[in-house]
């Protein structure tokens, strides 16, 4: 993380969102909104006094709801950049005009309550999409697991915060409800994955391995704790992966092949009712903590971002690669590449490999001085064009605009609008040629006369 922030060739914008992308491969113009941080990054030294003095405490998103943070905060101790931000929705000064403690204690005068969003534009030649994933909101689909009403039925990502030394418990595995150290932990895999009636049909790919890791971590930290893992299949195809799964079993994790049908509270225990399909019996475990491996889904802004940048995504919202085998990190839009879970669920080694592949494609592109453009694109016969603009609306690549031309007609100079095709943006799809009422727009390699020759041949 810090290597990226320190690299002389990388400009880092945090609290930033891409709002508009215009142009085409090699020549994009990008509009970026830099949100107000209310902290002057140049003056702030990251000392952290403001965080300790802020009187407001709200739920920490970074700790997945398991901890609290102040309204002026760094999401975690190693945050990059290592400077705090004010959460405007929860800051008393910004909401009610009262408080202002952080400004009073700041030794460098870095707090700026008047800070505003800024809009900047940048010109780039290539774009890498790396918008990542979210975990599916399992509470909508699994009423039988309590639908979110049990505080000790948590997700894998919440468990990560529980075992993390910088997490809300300092790395001690404790129940969120009462801080009790669990004696029995149950893990349930494929929660909303591989089940299109209750979520997603696909496999989320990382859960078998991270659940094995969680099981090992519990047994390392709490050797006397019982660990049960309910699974449909164990999918560990990867270098040293199956060995890792064996290690989890050797560490003492008990794997039960079957689904969990119900979780309910009894005293301070959670009764986990399921099935062991290998022995054909119902099983019941009294658990203190239940950890769900819920499905990976695209980031909440993934579809909006794809529409802004202008490329396609699948029915689940994952970004579509140009070819599943031969162009796995390219999109159908020239100059836009994919890295990581925005393209589909994957683990860290695959994500890193794909990110380097996307980087290699970008480097190949940027190492050239000029690009050869596909010549099979639309062209306009301005004599026939009436300037109606239908083609500008149908074009999925925003490649056609109306431009004003000057002509001499019967000795008079007149101005009129005609369609104009941007050769960098046009992908040669032909939608405009079918839309054009006056036959003024044609696709090179698929002109009306060429297609009619085919029709004539087909009718012979």
Classify residue 318 by its DSSP letter. Answer: P
Output the six-digit token pair for 58.
């709200």
Burial class (CB in 10 A: 0-12, 13-18, 19+), 408: exposed
Cα–Cα distance, 407 to 328 (Å, whole number): 48
Dihedral (C-alpha) 47, 50, 51, 55: value to the nearest 10 degrees?
160
- Shortest spacing between CB 282 and another protein, in angstroms: 31
* Stretch 32-51 residues interacting with another protein (CB under 8 A): 32, 37
Which x/- pattern over 164-203 shows residues binding another protein (rule: CB under 8 A)? xxxx---x--------------------------------
* Stretch 316-375 residues interacting with another protein (CB under 8 A): 323, 326, 337, 339-342, 347-348, 351-352, 354-356, 358-360, 362-363, 365-375
Residue placing its CB nearer to another protein in the complex, 274 or 298: 298
The answer to whether residues 134 and 299 touch, using CB atoms and an 8 Å cutoff, is yes
Residue placing its CB nearer to another protein in the complex, 164 or 177: 164
Residue placing its CB nearer to another protein in the complex, 285 or 441: 441
Which x/- pattern over 378-417 shows residues binding another protein (rule: CB under 8 A)? ----------------------------------------
- Shortest spacing between CB 273 and another protein, in angstroms: 29
* Stretch 73-132 residues interacting with another protein (CB under 8 A): 74-76, 78-81, 84-85, 122-132
Task: Report the DSSP beta bridge partners of residue 405.
Answer: 416
- SS3 of residue 115 by DSSP: coil
Backbone angles phi, psi at 100, to 5 degrees: 75, 20
Give the interface size with another protein as a residue count (CB under 8 A): 117
Which x/- pattern over 132-151 shows residues binding another protein (rule: CB under 8 A)? xx------------------
* Stretch 238-297 residues interacting with another protein (CB under 8 A): 238-241, 243-244
The answer to whether residues 141 and 199 touch, using CB atoms and an 8 Å cutoff, is yes
Distance of CA 13 to CAs 5, 10, 116, 119, 300, Å? 10, 10, 15, 12, 20
- Shortest spacing between CB 364 and another protein, in angstroms: 10
- Shortest spacing between CB 274 and another protein, in angstroms: 25
* Stretch 215-244 residues interacting with another protein (CB under 8 A): 216-217, 238-241, 243-244
What stretches of 157-259 adopt beta strand conformation (E)? 184-191, 226-231, 254-257
Cα–Cα distance, 71 to 183 (Å, whole number): 35
Residue placing its CB nearer to another protein in the complex, 8 or 223: 8
Dihedral (C-alpha) 139, 145, 150, 151: value to the nearest 10 degrees?
-70
Residue placing its CB nearer to another protein in the complex, 74 or 194: 74
* Stretch 440-459 residues interacting with another protein (CB under 8 A): 444-445, 447, 449-451, 453-454, 456-458
Figure out which of the listed residues 212, 234, 253, 285 binds another protein, where binding follows CB under 8 A. 212
- Shortest spacing between CB 437 and another protein, in angstroms: 23
* Stretch 411-440 residues interacting with another protein (CB under 8 A): 423-424
Cα–Cα distance, 412 to 338 (Å, whole number): 53
Q: How far is CA 72 from the centre of its chain?
A: 25
Residue 161 engages another protein in binding (rule: CB under 8 A): yes
Cα–Cα distance, 186 to 206 (Å, whole number): 18
Note if the bond before 390 is cis, omega within 30 degrees.
no
């Amino acid at each position: 993380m810090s290597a990226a922030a320190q690299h002389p060739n990388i400009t880092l914008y945090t609290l930033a969102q891409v709002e508009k992308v215009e142009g085409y491969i090699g020549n994009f113009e990008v509009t970026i909104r830099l949100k107000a941080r209310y902290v002057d990054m140049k003056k702030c030294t990251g000392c952290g006094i403001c965080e300790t003095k802020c009187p407001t405490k709200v739920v920490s998103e970074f700790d997945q709801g398991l901890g609290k943070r102040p309204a002026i905060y760094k999401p975690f101790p190693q945050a990059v950049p290592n400077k705090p931000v004010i959460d405007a929705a929860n800051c008393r000064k910004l909401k009610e005009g009262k408080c202002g403690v952080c400004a009073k204690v700041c030794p460098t005068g870095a707090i700026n309550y008047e800070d505003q969003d800024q809009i900047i534009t940048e010109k780039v030649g290539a774009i890498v999409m790396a918008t990542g994933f979210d975990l599916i909101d399992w509470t909508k689909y699994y009423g039988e697991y309590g639908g979110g009403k049990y505080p000790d039925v948590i997700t894998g990502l919440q468990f990560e915060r529980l075992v993390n030394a910088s997490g809300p418990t300092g790395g001690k595995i404790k129940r969120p409800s009462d801080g009790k150290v669990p004696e029995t932990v149950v893990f349930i895999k494929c929660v909303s994955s591989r089940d299109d009636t209750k979520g997603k049909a696909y496999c989320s790919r990382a859960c078998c391995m991270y659940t094995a890791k969680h099981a090992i971590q519990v047994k390392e930290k709490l050797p006397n704790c019982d660990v049960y893992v309910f699974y449909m299949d164990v999918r560990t195809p990867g270098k040293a992966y199956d060995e890792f799964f064996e290690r989890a079993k050797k560490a003492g994790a008990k794997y039960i092949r079957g689904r969990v049908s119900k979780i309910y509270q009894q005293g301070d225990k959670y009764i986990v009712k399921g099935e062991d399909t290998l022995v054909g019996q119902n099983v019941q475990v009294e658990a203190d903590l239940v950890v769900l491996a819920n499905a990976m889904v695209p980031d909440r802004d993934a579809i909006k971002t794809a529409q802004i940048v202008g490329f396609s995504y699948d029915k689940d919202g994952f970004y579509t690669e140009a070819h599943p085998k031969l162009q796995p990190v390219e999109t159908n839009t020239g100059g836009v590449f994919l890295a990581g879970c925005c393209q589909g669920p994957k683990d860290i080694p695959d994500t890193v490999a794909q990110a380097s592949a996307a980087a290699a494609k970008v480097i190949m592109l940027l190492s050239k001085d000029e690009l050869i453009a596909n010549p099979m694109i639309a062209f306009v016969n301005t004599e026939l064009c009436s300037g109606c603009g239908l083609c500008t609306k149908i074009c999925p690549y925003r490649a056609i605009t109306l431009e004003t031309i000057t002509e001499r007609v019967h000795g008079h100079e007149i101005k009129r609008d005609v369609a104009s095709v941007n050769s960098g943006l046009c992908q040669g799809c032909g939608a405009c040629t079918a839309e054009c009422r006056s036959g003024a727009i044609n696709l090179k390699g698929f002109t009306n006369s060429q297609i009619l020759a085919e029709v004539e041949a087909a009718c012979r």
